[in-house]
Amino acid sequence: MQNKLKVSLAFNSYPGAVLDETATAILAGMTGNAAFPTPPVPLATVLARQIAFREALAAAANGGTQLTAVKNQARQALLDALDANAMYVQALARYDLAMLLSSGYQAASTNRAQIQLPAPTILGLDNEMSTQLVVRLSPIANAYCYEVQTRTGTNAWQTAGAFTAARKIILPNLTPGMVYNVQARAIGGTTGYSDWSDPSAHIAT
């Protein structure tokens, strides 16, 4: 008997930048996809909610109770839309993995054990252009994307974004002469994300 597929809802626990990246991938997969012609939440609505969330996320970067509340509300609105369309995709692609993956959503593991991805390793941290660092990570099987954080000195870690390519991640808009500590983690698996990598440091030029 063929196993029924389920769409992974792990994106509900993703950090903001990674959720934004995930929404972009889902919109790309669903747009013009003949397998999923009438999602319950129109893609234009999903895009509008993604943009609202992205703007609220940026506005709340410096803190503030009111801005954080707006960000959380926008996040939930986006998640509600993604969840509704996930169930639609699951209903139509229950026995067809390729069809399910074409939507931009990921399939949930059929193994009930919680499997955490291994942490990536920073293979290189280099200068290619002024005010930039290039991060090269070890690719992790089943990783959806990679989240990178940076900090200077003993300051708090700051999210640098989510990236789909492990081999070349560009961190822009850095201050020349400043030493940046960098760490990364893989996003995916049944637990949502891996542990953070060991940090690596390099000076921006």
Residue 17, pLDDT > 90, answer no
> What pLDDT is stored for residue 120 in this prediction?
94
CATH superfamily of 122-203: Immunoglobulins (2.60.40.10)
Mean pLDDT of 162-171: 88
> What pLDDT is stored for residue 111 in this prediction?
58
> What pLDDT is stored for residue 1 in this prediction?
53
Mean pLDDT of 32-57: 96
Residue 163, pLDDT > 90, answer no
> What pLDDT is stored for residue 54 in this prediction?
94
Q: Rounded to an integer, what distance in angstroms lies between the CA atom of residue 189 and that of residue 201?
A: 28
Mean pLDDT of 179-196: 87
Beta strands, E only, the chain: 122-126, 133-137, 143-151, 158-163, 169-171, 179-188, 192-193, 200-203
> What pLDDT is stored for residue 15 in this prediction?
83
Under the banding of pLDDT at 50, 70 and 90, the label for residue 107 is: confident
DSSP structure class, residue 107: B
Which residues, 6+ apart, have CB-to-CB distance to 50 below 8 Å? 20, 23, 24, 27, 78
Residue % of the chain over a pLDDT of 70: 94
Q: Would you list the domain boundaries of the chain?
A: 10-102, 122-203
Residue 91, pLDDT > 90, answer yes
Under the banding of pLDDT at 50, 70 and 90, the label for residue 112 is: low
**Closest to 171 measured CA to CA, from 124, 131, 122:** 131
More confident residue, 15 or 40: 40
CB 111 within 8 A of CB 99: no
Mean pLDDT of 35-60: 95
> What pLDDT is stored for residue 75 in this prediction?
96
Residue 14, pLDDT > 90, answer no
What is the average pLDDT score of the chain? 90
Cβ atoms within 10 Å, residue 88: 19
Mean pLDDT of 25-39: 95
Residue 113, pLDDT > 70, answer no
